[in-house]
Amino acid sequence: MTPQEIFSQLPRNRVGEADRRYMNEVLDAGFSNTKDPAGIGARFERAFAEKFRVKYAIAMNSGSGTMLSALIAAGIGPGDEVIVPTLTAAATAFVVVECGAVPVFADIDPVTFCIAPSDIERKITPFTKGIIPVSIYGLSPDYDAIMALAKRHNLTVIEDNAQCFLGTYKGRLVGTIGHCASFSFQGSKHMTSGGDGGATVTDDEAYAREIRKISHQGFKTLSGRAGEGVVPRNLRQDWAFERHDRLGYNFRISAMQSALGLAQLERLDYLVAARRYIASRYEATIRETGCDWLTPPVTPEGLTHAYWTYVCKLDEKRLGADWREFRKRYLANGGDGLYSAWRPVHLEPIFRSMAYFGGSRERSPNFDPRYRGTVKSYQEGDCPVFEGMQKTLCQFKTSFQTLEKTERQAEALRLTILSFKR
């Protein structure tokens, strides 16, 4: 596909003809007591499952509810530990606390920035019940090693693919390797269902059913099949119907969000191709300018990157300036923002204090009497690789929807690199 072909398929403001058509279908069908008279939710779930070649896709209102329901459905709760990377959105660790378990933070591989299997192994205890590996910035972690550890220790693996759409790992679509996978449709992601949304996918029928029930208010009769998030009318209207056989949350996606999600899913190949093309433009710029103080991201053999962002390591010594100066210069040259890496999650104030439920740390899962493990605090030194590297990472945006904007950004980077050469 040429860049022109890719970008010709992308509406500038991310709202296209199909988005409007599906939204209008929902509006034309109107809103009755039935949640989704247009049946758009079922169509979106079916299409998402087909795209990722899995049996079940359960759409929700966020990529956090997706992970929380997957944890609870796996039977994970108070007394358990779940291993998460320290380089991720806090949501990956929040959901562990929200289900009552203890997050255990693993360090990253310094080359791929993904969770390091060696550190997972070091942190597995008799209390570990799950791992949430994250395809950070759009690149899959080493799933062969992770799945081998999971098998050996009988752990549930929930892939956090919020940032990875259509990435592959050794010929497999990322999202089809763990016991289930979570996707986010929040606004910064490859596709969005109107600013927020998410989906969990799995091939496991029983797991899918429990995930559906937990995210759809615990109704007894629901299933993981597309659109089966509503109790059939003859059942739900009957006086004898016992509705709830488990605790549930309301993480349902709306019909309007599903309409947008369906339209964006139809052009997902182009949305991902655009991010890959934008990454290639940054890469070419670094190469062509002979810049030796920005290290481009590395994609290991056999993997394909989905480039949620394009992340380089900045060598401040070689550059002779610091990260903030580099960012200032990039912005002055027309760069559209430059993000640092998030702070290591285990050092965020809420994890340092563990005052998740107000009051003292004694109310946290780490001090629950059912928890027999030893993780009683989070501190510097827990994940030294990422702690030492966080300040050097530069995330260049890849979310541009036009070729002109893409070229302007590559030019901004070129000018910035050259300006430091003088």
Ligand X SMILES: Cc1ncc(COP(=O)(O)O)c(C=O)c1O
- Chain residues that interact with ligand X, rule: CB under 6 A: 62-64, 88-89, 91-92, 134, 160, 162-163, 184, 186, 198
146 vs 413, beta carbon nearer ligand X = 146
**DSSP for 44-64, written as a single string:** HHHHHHHHTT-SEEEEES-TT
Tell me how far apart the alpha carbons of residues 63 and 185 are, in angstroms, rounded to a whole number: 7
In sequence order, which ranges of 289-393 are alpha helices (DSSP H)? 316-319, 323-332, 349-353, 384-389
Q: Strand, helix or coil at 413?
A: helix
CA neighbor of 210 nearest in space, from 103, 70, 350, 327: 70
Cα–Cα distance list, 156 to 58, 75, 143, 177, 383 (Å): 18, 10, 13, 11, 23
59 vs 354, beta carbon nearer ligand X = 59
CB of 416 to ligand X, least distance (A): 26
Tell me how far apart the alpha carbons of residues 84 and 375 are, in angstroms, rounded to a whole number: 14
Any residues with CB less than 8 A from the CB of 286 and at least 6 apart, and which?
Answer: 294, 296, 312, 413, 417
CB of 163 to ligand X, least distance (A): 5
Tell me how far apart the alpha carbons of residues 372 and 33 are, in angstroms, rounded to a whole number: 47
223 vs 340, beta carbon nearer ligand X = 340
CB of 329 to ligand X, least distance (A): 27
61 vs 217, beta carbon nearer ligand X = 61
134 vs 410, beta carbon nearer ligand X = 134
| Cβ-proximal residue to ligand X, closest one | 63
CB of 280 to ligand X, least distance (A): 23
Which pairing describes strands 81-85 and 102-106: parallel, antiparallel, or unpaired? parallel
CB of 85 to ligand X, least distance (A): 9
CB of 184 to ligand X, least distance (A): 3
160 vs 228, beta carbon nearer ligand X = 160
